[in-house]
Structure 1
Amino acid sequence: MAFVAPLPVPTHSAAAARRPLTHRRHAVVAVAAPSRSTPTTKPAVTHPMTLTEKLLARGAEKPFVKPGDNVWVNVDALMTHDVCGPPTFGIFKREFGDDAKVWDRNRVIIIPDHYIFTEDKRANRNVDTLRQFATEQDIKYFYDIKDLSNFRANPDYKGVCHIALAQEGHTRSGEILFGTDSHTCNAGAFGMFATGIGNTDAGFILGTGKLLVKVPQTMRFEMNGNMPDYLLAKDLILNIIGDIGVGGATYRAMEFAGSTIGDLSMEERMTLCNMAVEAGGKNGLIAADHRTEAYLAARGSKPTEIFHTDEEASFYADYKYNVADLEPVVAKPHSPDNRALAKECSDVRIDRCYIGSCTGGKTEDFLAAARVLQGRKVAVPTFLVPATQKVYEDVETLRINGETLKDIFYNAGCIALGDPGCAACLGGPSDTFARLNEPLVCVSTTNRNFPGRMGDKEGQIYLASPYTTAASAVTGYVTDPREVYDFDANKRHPTETLAD
């Protein structure tokens, strides 16, 4: 059971927020958005709503909803994978009949990704079950894999479901997405309501296309200021989780806003929203903007509808950060809220580093790691697992200073690229690439560091950004990336601009 931390009083200073919890007062607070003057030509908002409330109101076909309401919503998309798909299909057939058809074959997305490249027969059987169901139901979006010896021989196979959903244009602003995976909140980066659900709820959706949802309260995290060159979105979310605790946002929406968020790429926004669940959040989300529309357009998709939080909307809590005050951080074992500055852990000797997962295995995550590793050698085994086939191709082809990312990693002494997928993020069968099969200390770009999460129950996982992980790989200790790389003191070089 996760420890539910008391909610700290929102502050106007991130530096103050980082003081030890024992030195801060705690209280459960409800903070309303500050009142603002409204032009007389602008019509008054009768029922001001947050972004999450507007999304659920649309899904419920209601003019407005408020926190605490229980509403039936129409589901725009349901995603499942090889771990939860088989039991979900079993529940669907049990409740609706062996010959029942799903409510909409074009809105069900099946993505094998978790336990794929393994000789474990049970894991292989799960993928067979997905294939059988997809065939029976004529599912349009089934990203199959048959040849496990060569992932490239499977043109439909994608990799990690959350990144594949975005890359294939399934994350459309304004819609409602449910998935049988807790990190489905990743898609909230596109201005949609996206959250993880259990197999029973998923089975019900398969038969009806609807789900009963309790409207969550919203916590806003407004981040402004010039983001230092040495920080990444992973540092931002680990700071937030460190402030509010792993239970600080339980069944609440975490809305990220502010000028800093507007400057982030879509992949960095995904990192923020992905880990909302690590604070107990029902969902994490960011309002769609021109970056969102451009990302979708490049993938042949477009927003269904774009919503923004009303100025008069109320929040359960309203946090404000000046990102210039933040520093690289890690989450020490064994909880995502066990935050410490990376430089405070410089005496921790490590056994390996891991760069991968839905949180840290995207193209820009590898660009960031390559930036630090170029021209350097790793001191510990460093495993690299691209999230999807597309990311794998990017690692092979994108260049920094004329050198491909793959060559940068090879010359640095990293382990050869693993097949795209979840790999060791969830542990998996014993033959899973990079799994901790003994009690090792690992710095990882993944999202959870609970005991046994990456394999051995005695393993110790330090969650960190790609910059911090790469720097730690170079020294063999948990390392602040500023100790290894000379970052630009005058301006930030966004990850999406690092390639030649």
Structure 2
Amino acid sequence: MAGMTMSQKILAAHAGLTEVKPGQLIEADLDLVLGNDITSPVAIKEMEKFNTKSVFDKDKIALVPDHFVPNKDIKSAENCKCVREFAKRNSITNYFEVGQMGIEHALLPEKGLTLPGDLIIGADSHTCTYGALGAFSTGVGSTDMAAGMATGKAWFKVPSAIKFDLVGELPKYVSGKDVILHIIGMIGVDGALYKSMEFTGEGVKALSMDDRFTIANMAIEAGGKNGIFPVDEKTIEYLKEHAAGKEYKTFEADPDAEYDEEYTIDLSSLKSTVAFPHLPENTHTFDDIDEIKIDQVVIGSCTNGRIDDIRMAAEILKGRKVADGIRCIIIPATQAIYMQAMEEGLLKIFIEAGAVVSTPTCGPCLGGYMGILASGERCVSTTNRNFVGRMGATDSEIYLASPAVAAASAVTGKLSQPSEL
């Protein structure tokens, strides 16, 4: 029997099989099915066509309106109403909206709903975030979400894998965002197409949980089916805080697991990295960046709206001012993170610096609201995609960066790293 990767072992266990091979089609039992206010209404309408009208398990579905919430217009209000009423009809336990809300991929781990060894699908491409906790999680279409909600099962093609062996520790002001941007720059936006990105090595223990969430979150930006980290002491500490008393199963890759490619990433050699328009693979370090004036900075999203990110932005903005003519928008990813930032005095730092702080929302990341770009404008953003027109006008530009780079850029009015302040 050939050795299996971590992802393959989770898939095999959920399919009731002793082994699986790359390319094999399996039907597997799901631990969690996730939807938001954009994708859930489509899934709900699809589900109405099924013979079964009820969900397979009201405790294993999470519905999180977060993209256009609080509602920005009538259409988004109707979408949220559709999801809200569906949740009520089916007594969905894990429904989180205004007041309890947060960006789904920050909120669900915080609520202890994503556990090691789980098999999770979500009708949102960044569902791969939960791999940070040693789960197999991946984005699916709304039809698959509908089938998952009705049956508790989904079809998968077992992915092959790429191994990233991490060594060393990150320098100051360099974070998980720089790690994943570096990797995407190296292998390209289709470098891991339908493959599992498995992160291992001594360097993992030097990464915070927030760093790991960021790296796993952007696996999809390299084409990955999922990103996944081993479960270690930091993971277990995180679970003690957020999922106390819940049972989970950990999986480890076999020593003879097969990988399509293997890369070693020396974390200590990484620098602040920025993805230029219009692809996440178009990466540059500040060694080759000329002066690029900007109009807006966004710090937030399912990629970088966690407490580490908010603290980093505050560290850089403390006692400084946002440059004249720059709009700096800061969006804590959940109510709990917002509250933590308030208690630590971080919101005061932001407001005194001349930034604005928003309620949790995906908002500007997908060109929703709370920071749409006009024609020709440039934004440094801690979000995950910089496609043409992603945040507004088709001739606007998005530069993807870490919270440290975004905050420094807000102070100078141009693309900058903290050492320039």
**Structure 1: tracts of 5 or more residues without a match:** 1-45, 146-153, 399-403, 485-500
Residue 24 of structure 1 corresponds to which residue in structure 2? none
> Contact between 1:346 and 1:479, CA under 8 Å: does it hold in 2?
no
How much has 1:279 moved relative to structure 2? 0.5
> Contact between 2:113 and 2:243, CA under 8 Å: does it hold in 1?
no
How much has 1:389 moved relative to structure 2? 0.7
Opposite residue 427 of structure 1, the aligned amino acid is: G
CA distance in 2, matches of 1:361, 1:74: 31
Residue 339 of structure 2 corresponds to which residue in structure 1? 393
Call closer, same or farther: CA 1:346–1:406 in 2, change over 3 Å. Answer: farther
Opposite residue 364 of structure 2, the aligned amino acid is: A
The answer to whether 1:113 aligns with 2:57 is no
The structure with the largest alpha-carbon Rg is 1
* TM-score of the superposed pair, with normalisation by structure 1: 0.82
Residue 4 of structure 1 corresponds to which residue in structure 2? none
> Contact between 1:363 and 1:395, CA under 8 Å: does it hold in 2?
yes
CA distance in 2, matches of 1:391, 1:435: 24
Given candidates 122, 140, 143, the residue that maps to 1:197 is 140
Residue 40 of structure 1 corresponds to which residue in structure 2? none
Opposite residue 91 of structure 2, the aligned amino acid is: D
> Contact between 1:108 and 1:141, CA under 8 Å: does it hold in 2?
yes
The answer to whether 1:411 aligns with 2:352 is yes
How much has 1:481 moved relative to structure 2? 2.1
> Contact between 1:328 and 1:481, CA under 8 Å: does it hold in 2?
no
How much has 1:330 moved relative to structure 2? 0.2
Given candidates 303, 324, 341, the residue that maps to 2:268 is 324
**Percent identity of equivalent pairs:** 39
Out of 368-377 and 54-63, give the one that drifted further: 368-377
How much has 1:195 moved relative to structure 2? 0.3
The answer to whether 1:459 aligns with 2:396 is yes
Once the two structures are superposed, what CA deviation does each residue of 1:61-90 show, in whole Å capped at 9, x if it has no partner? 111111111111000110101101111011
> Contact between 2:66 and 2:97, CA under 8 Å: does it hold in 1?
no
CA distance in 2, matches of 1:86, 1:409: 36
CA distance in 1, matches of 2:123, 2:66: 13
- Specify the SS of the correspondent of 1:94: coil
Query: Where does 1:60-75 land on structure 2 (aligned, <5 Å)?
Result: 60-75=15-30
CA distance in 2, matches of 1:169, 1:230: 29
Residue 139 of structure 1 corresponds to which residue in structure 2? 92
Residue 365 of structure 1 corresponds to which residue in structure 2? 309
CA distance in 1, matches of 2:203, 2:403: 19
Between the two proteins, the alignment pairs up a number of residues equal to: 418
How much has 1:348 moved relative to structure 2? 0.7
How much has 1:419 moved relative to structure 2? 1.4
Residue 76 of structure 1 corresponds to which residue in structure 2? 31
CA distance in 2, matches of 1:133, 1:437: 36
- Specify the SS of the correspondent of 2:166: strand
Residue 124 of structure 2 corresponds to which residue in structure 1? 181
How much has 1:95 moved relative to structure 2? 2.1
Query: Where does 1:84-233 land on structure 2 (aligned, <5 Å)?
Result: 84-97=39-52, 100-145=53-98, 154=99, 157-233=100-176
Given candidates 359, 365, 371, the residue that maps to 1:425 is 365
- Specify the SS of the correspondent of 1:354: strand
Opposite residue 281 of structure 2, the aligned amino acid is: D
How much has 1:350 moved relative to structure 2? 0.8
CA distance in 2, matches of 1:262, 1:307: 17
- Specify the SS of the correspondent of 1:103: coil
- Specify the SS of the correspondent of 1:295: helix
How much has 1:226 moved relative to structure 2? 2.7
